[in-house]
Amino acid sequence: MSTRDMTTRAWGELGLLALIWGGSFLSIRVALDEIPFVTSVAYRVGVAALILWVYVALRRLPVPSDWRTWGALLVMGLLNNVFPFLLMAWGQLHIETGLTSILNAATAIFGVLVAALLLADENLTWRRGIGVSIGFLGVATAIGLHNLASFDLRSAAQLAVVTGTISYAFASVWARVRLTGLSPQVQAAGMLTGSSLVMIPLALTLDGIVVPTQGDTILAIAYYAVIATAVAYLLYFRVLAMVGSGNTMLCTLMVAPVAILLGAWLRDEVLSANVYLGFGLLVAGLLIIDGRVLRVLMRR
């Protein structure tokens, strides 16, 4: 199977990953009411790494012993956790939530482009290009196209968010090139260990020792560290091995609708017509990328 093919199982796991990450926005927002954002990232990667190493030990999975592999895992931690988490968290403090969500969805575009440039088996076909573009338009429509009016390349906060999305794209390519042969569990545990080696000292230096005391904060950290990081990255590396770098980044298109629906459910908000139109465009884009519906229609 080519890494460009998307099976029903792959779509299912990608959708589950989007569901998990879509809920992380709310939990992170709750935690930031009590703890600084650098400390929140340190808790996220540190707790998740500890849980995954316990899992690896219980499963008695082989652990790499060479420094080259550990160096690759450290770089993966920087690209996939440290840089994007810090850049995007800082950016969100200074720009509107709607624009941040749209820029985050652009990860799918960068993911497909970077994969096509650097990986021989992930060519940029017309179907993938059109599908990702329509999907991104759908996300932007659902969130509100008016948010794009405030986009400004001179804004440091906006550039920080964009840089974070590009870092995600390079991380998925790095994993395919340098981490093949490791189990998803060891890849996730090693990556998060690399992130922890950077984030924990940084948090202690900038924030000191911060211990959450509120129940909501503790529950929020538990969700985004255990579910949205430890469990989610097990899924991430499984999907990456199945369908490749560019397709894995499609998850960011699917995260935004989950976050919108969760917000409407928890706040009893009425979804506007543009939300439904955006969701329709997103589904159309994903169907074009999948290709199976198009093949059926072309046979008629």
pLDDT tens track for 115-124: 999 998 888 8
Predicted pLDDT of residue 73: 97
Contact 235, 20 (CB under 8 A): yes
Closest CA to 105 of 282, 269, 298: 282
Contacts of residue 259, Cβ cutoff 8 Å, sequence gap at least 6: 22, 23, 25, 26, 101
At 142, the amino acid letter reads A
Predicted pLDDT of residue 222: 95
State pLDDT tens for residues 4-42: 568 889 899 999 999 998 888 778 888 888 999 899 999
Say if residue 49 is exposed, middle or buried (CB neighbours under 10 Å; 0-12, 13-18, 19+): buried
The predicted model gives 166-184 an average pLDDT of: 93
Residue 267: pLDDT above 70?
A: no
60 phi and psi angles, rounded to 5 deg: 55, 45
Higher pLDDT, 270 or 77: 77
What is the distance between the alpha carbons of residues 291 and 109, in angstroms, rounded to a whole number?
18
User: What percent of the chain lies above the pLDDT cut of 70?
Assistant: 94
Contact 256, 147 (CB under 8 A): no
Higher pLDDT, 212 or 7: 212
Predicted pLDDT of residue 102: 84
What is the distance between the alpha carbons of residues 25 and 21, in angstroms, rounded to a whole number?
7
Count CB neighbours of 148 within 10 A: 13
Chain centre distance of CA 97: 16
Predicted pLDDT of residue 269: 64
Predicted pLDDT of residue 84: 92
The predicted model gives 149-153 an average pLDDT of: 75
Residue 104: pLDDT above 70?
A: yes
State pLDDT tens for residues 32-84: 889 998 999 999 999 999 999 999 999 999 999 899 999 999 999 999 999 99
Lowest mean pLDDT of 81-95, 207-221, 257-271, name the range.
Answer: 257-271
- Phi/psi region, residue 208 (left: phi>0; alpha: psi -120 to 50; beta: rest), is left
Mean pLDDT of the chain: 88
Residue 99: pLDDT above 90?
A: no
